Structure formats: C-alpha cells, structure tokens
Amino acid sequence: MELNELTVTQALDGLKKKTFSAEELVKSCFGKIKKVEEKVKAFITICEEDALKNAKKTDQLIKDDPQIFEQKPLLGMPIALKDLFSTKGIKTTAGSKVLKDYIPVYDATVVKKLKAAGAIIIGKTNLDAWGHGSSGENSDFFVTKNPWNLQKTPGGSSSGSGAAVSAGECLAATATDTCGSVRAPANFCNLVGLKPTYGRVSRFGVIAMASSLDSIGHLAHTVEDSALFLKVTAGKDPLDATTPNIKVEDYSKTLKKPSKKIIIGLPKEYFIKGIDKEMKLAIESSIKLFEKNGFIINTISLPHTQYALATYYIIQPSEVSSNLARFDGIRYGEKRDCFGEEAKRRIILGTYSLSTGYYDAYYLKAMKVRTLISEDFAKAFAKVDILLTPTSPTPAFNLGEKIKDPLKMYLSDIFSASSSLAGLPVLALPCGFTKDNLPIGMQLIAPQFNESLLFQVGHYFQQITTWHKRRPPLV
C-alpha cells in the first residue's frame, strides 16, 4: 500500500512510530497527483512548494518533540481545501471566474484551526462555482471526474474534494454542505462525508452560499478520520455569531459501540419508488446488518419531506442573491458579468422570491414550511435515536446527463434538503457497490449537536463492513 492511500489515523500512527516521515507522506500524495490529476482534475490550485516546506518543518517538529501530536492532532496530514475556504496568500476562487485572481488577506477560522493542528495544505479543490450544483459541472474552470469512472460525476458541489480524497491525492479534505455538497461526493466516491450540525463549525472565512444553511464539513475514508477532523474544526468562534458555545466532545475517544440499544428510524418518505434498485438492495442489506447486530429498526414518518426541496430552492437562492451582491469588482475580483449561468439563475430566482409582492408567497411561506420540517424531525427523534436513509436516489450519474435541465439537477438533492433545512448533523458513508463497480452510500441523521452518536453508529458499521476500504481502480 502506498502512503497516500492510508487513512489519517494510519498515517498519524506511522508518523508517530517513525515508520515514514511527513515529507515521504506528502511526496507520496504529490506523486499520485502527478499520475492521476490530468485525468481527475480535482485541483484548481496545487501548493507543492509550500506543502513540502511544511512537511520538512513537521519532521523537525516531531524530531524535537515526539509528544507534539498531543497539541497537533493532525500533524503532517496532507489535506486539501475546497476552494471556498479563504486562505491567506493562496488564491481562492469559489470555482468562479469572478474570483479567478482573488488572493485573500485572511484565513478562514477552519483553515487557521487546521494549520494550528499541524495539517499540511496541498491544494485547493474544484467545485461547482459558489457551491451551486450537484455534479461539479458548474465550475467555471473545468469539470472534475469521478475516479471510479471518469464518465461519471464525482458529485457536487465539493467535486474536487471528493475526487482528490478518493483518488488518493490527499488523505482528507474540507468541504461545505448546504444541501448535499458533502454527501453527494461521499456517496459517489466511496467516502465518509460529514455535514455537521449548522453552527457546529465556524463559517467565518468560508465564502457563503446560503447563510442559514451552510454547514462546514469534510470528506475522509473512515468515520474514525472524520471524528478526528471534527474535533479540530468544531467549536464556538467569536467571529461567527451562529456558533453556539456547546462543548466539543473528544469524538475519537467515544467511538465505541453505544452502550444502550440504538433505535434506527427509517423515514418511509425516503424509501420510495424511483430509487435505484441496486442502491435500494445495498441499503436494505445494511439495515439488516444493523438489525442482526442488536440495533432496533423502526419505520417512522417525516410527513413534510415532499415539500423540502421546494422550500430549500426558495430559501437558498434568496440568500444566494444577497450573498453574491458583494461581488461588484470594486474591492476585489471581476465585474458581475463574469458570473456563470447557474449563479445568474439563482440570483434572479432569489431576487424574485424576496421582491415586493412575492415575499409572502415564496420566502415567508418557505420559512414557515421550514418550521414544519424541523418539527417533523423533533417528533421523530422522540421515538428513535437516529435516522437512516439513502443519500441520493441514484449512484453517480453521467457527466452531461442533467446539466442542461436545472430542475432535474435540483431534484438530485431531494434526500438532502430536509436535514439541511433543520440544521441537523448528517454522516454519509459507503454501504455497497453496483455491479458496475460504482459506490453506493447511505446517510445517518442525528439530532442537533449529536455528532458523537453519528460517529459511534457509523464507526460500528465500518468495523463490520469493508466497503470503505475499497479504492478506485484508477492508476
């Protein structure tokens, strides 16, 4: 096994035991990048020089103080950042031509935290411009491919982060999830994706898509890695007023199987006609596996599920229209004529929902339905501990398949919308493969700020399955 194919946990162990150096680890990632990046096209910016410099520094740090891992829990870990995360001195484009030459003068809070934890940034990954999309095809620069099948989408909007981790170009990557942008790539690329509770991770410095929905997450190979990562990124940030002062647990230490019997709820509205057959089978056998191992399975109802996507597609573009107003080309970036088609479409749609005469019928109505959707979950969580659903209706679809039809593309987010609107934490994880060797995933949904339960159940699943250990055939 190459070093770049290790999980974060394994790589940390290797560094601690001095089996290899940080420099070797980082070089191994760049070796892979050189081999596959031309095909995968995951990165907008690659920071090889700085990363190697940092790797050497890291090795010196480890040499000086072998205990340093206690202060720096991600020391030497080669990670990538979705290009929405502001990085001081490193170009940050949001996947849009509007910011093609924009170099931030400050680091996002999460970037600061990751740097402080010792992580090494190897590059900035491609995405649907501004996070607007489910396939990555809305990037203003180029289209990222799925390492499992280059004809397929890696999922969006965090397409580059998904492809990069999956292809072994880095060990983990940050991503954002407004309505599935972490989960779709996890699902399509055989990764573990965490969309934390809204407010659990600071949004400061992450270019905003829809402020009341944006959740700052990450992609990795295992639940264990995901837990380690969240411990670093989560917490109250004085610069983000929407981060509550709720204690960040030591998620890695609480990964053991939950002591009490966990009741898994299956919302019947998610198990409907139209779900891919192979996907349905894979999820059903995962449910059986849980049941066999002592979990209790209950079917429940989230009656407003069918309204979630419409609600989401009113609220999100409204906030988008306002959030993208700052891009006027005066202080930074290009003029507004550089916005791509999808951004323009959402700005116009959102402007419509907020304008005089339509506000009550659209925006206000959507905010009210949002209340009902949140209440559905509250009622469900009175009966069950955690929910299990498909992540999307199908495995990775073909590039080009939906890009001409925005509504069809929007509908691929259908299983992400409710939990986003309610601000709940969701863990997407691998649970099978199609006969064409495409990954299949499922998602676990927990009550607000109960990420530790997601990790416990997810980790348990990964101990009794091996789907997450498969790597794409791409050389």
Partner 1 sequence: MISKKTVQHLADLSKLELTYKELNKFQKQLAEILNYFCLLKKVTTSQVLPTSQVTGLENVLAKDEISPSLSSKEALSQTKNQHNNYFKVKAILNGT
Partner 2 sequence: MAQKETATGVTMKYTKFTTIIGIEVHVELKTKSKMFCGCNNHHFQVKPNTHTCPVCLGLPGALPVPNEKAIDWCLLLGLALNCKINNLSKFNRKNYFYPDLPKGYQISQYDSPFCVHGKLEIKDKMQKPRTIRINRVHMEEDTAKLVHAKVDDEEISLIDFNRSGVPLVEIVTEAEIHSSEETIFYLKKIQQIVRYLNISNADMEKGSMRCEINLSLSIDGKLPPFKIELKNINSFRFVKKAIDYEIKRQEKILRLGKIPVQETRGFDATRNKTFSQRTKEEAHDYRYFPEPDIPLIKVSQEKISSLEKILPELPDEKARRFAKEYKLSTYNANLLTFSKKRADYFEEAVKIGKANQVFPEIIANTIVNKRISIKKYLPQEFVKLLLKKQTQKINDQKLISKVITKAMKSNPKAVADFKKGKQVCVGFLLGQVMRETKGKADPLLTQKLLLEKLKS
**Catalytic (active-site) positions:** 82, 157, 181
CB of 470 to partner 2, least distance (A): 35
Draw the binding track, 154-193, toward partner 2 (x: CB under 8 A; -: no contact): ----------------------------------------
> Which residues in the 222-281 window bind partner 1 by CB under 8 A?
238, 241-242, 244
Residue 372 interaction partner, one of partner 2, partner 1, none, beta carbon < 5-8 Å per kind = partner 1
Q: CA 246 to CA 167: how far, in whole Å?
A: 35
Task: Pick one of 240, 249, 284, 334: the residue that binds partner 2 (CB under 8 A).
Answer: 240
DSSP output for 185-209: HHHHHT-EEEEPPTTTB--TTBPPS
Q: Give 131 or 390: the residue with its C-beta nearer to partner 2.
A: 131
CB of 179 to partner 2, least distance (A): 15
Q: CA 302 to CA 418: how far, in whole Å?
A: 9
Q: Give 316 or 418: the residue with its C-beta nearer to partner 2.
A: 316
**Stretch in the footprint of partner 2 (CB under 8 A) among 151-159, 275-283, 322-330, 435-443:** 322-330
Alpha helices in 324-364 (DSSP H): 341-354
Q: What are the φ/ψ torsions at residue 445 (nearest 5 degrees)?
A: -120, 130
CB of 64 to partner 1, least distance (A): 31
If one counts every other C-beta atom within 10 angstroms of the C-beta of residue 257, the result is: 13
CB of 469 to partner 2, least distance (A): 36
**472 part of the interface to partner 2, by CB under 8 A:** no
Q: CA 21 to CA 216: how far, in whole Å?
A: 30
Q: Give 205 or 441: the residue with its C-beta nearer to partner 2.
A: 205
**347 part of the interface to partner 1, by CB under 8 A:** yes
Q: CA 131 to CA 82: how far, in whole Å?
A: 10
CB of 427 to partner 2, least distance (A): 24
Draw the binding track, 402-441, toward partner 2 (x: CB under 8 A; -: no contact): ----------------------------------------
> Which residues in the 324-343 window bind partner 2 by CB under 8 A?
324-328, 330-332
Draw the binding track, 341-370, toward partner 2 (x: CB under 8 A; -: no contact): ----------x--xxx--x---x-------
**369 part of the interface to partner 1, by CB under 8 A:** yes
Residue 304 interaction partner, one of partner 2, partner 1, none, beta carbon < 5-8 Å per kind = partner 1
Q: 175 by DSSP, 3-state: which?
A: strand
Contact at 8 Å (CB) between 397 and 332? no
Residue 422 interaction partner, one of partner 2, partner 1, none, beta carbon < 5-8 Å per kind = partner 1
Residue 187 tokens, joined: 């699902």
Residue 228 to residues 224, 231, 264, 441, Cα–Cα distance (Å): 6, 5, 24, 21
Q: CA 339 to CA 320: how far, in whole Å?
A: 13
Q: CA 376 to CA 207: how far, in whole Å?
A: 30
Q: Which residue has the tokens 């031509």?
A: 97
Q: Are strands 215-220 and 172-177 parallel, antiparallel or unpaired?
A: antiparallel
DSSP output for 104-156: -SS--HHHHHHHHTT-EEEEEE--SGGG--SSSTT-SS-PPPBTTBTTB---S
Q: Give 192 or 422: the residue with its C-beta nearer to partner 1.
A: 422
Residue 204 tokens, joined: 């400061």
Residue 204 interaction partner, one of partner 1, partner 2, none, beta carbon < 5-8 Å per kind = partner 2
Name the site residues for partner 1 (rule: CB under 8 A).
102-103, 105-106, 198-199, 212, 238, 241-242, 244, 304, 306-307, 310-311, 313-314, 321, 325, 328-333, 336-337, 339, 341, 344-345, 347-349, 351-352, 355, 362, 364-372, 374, 406-407, 410, 421-423, 448
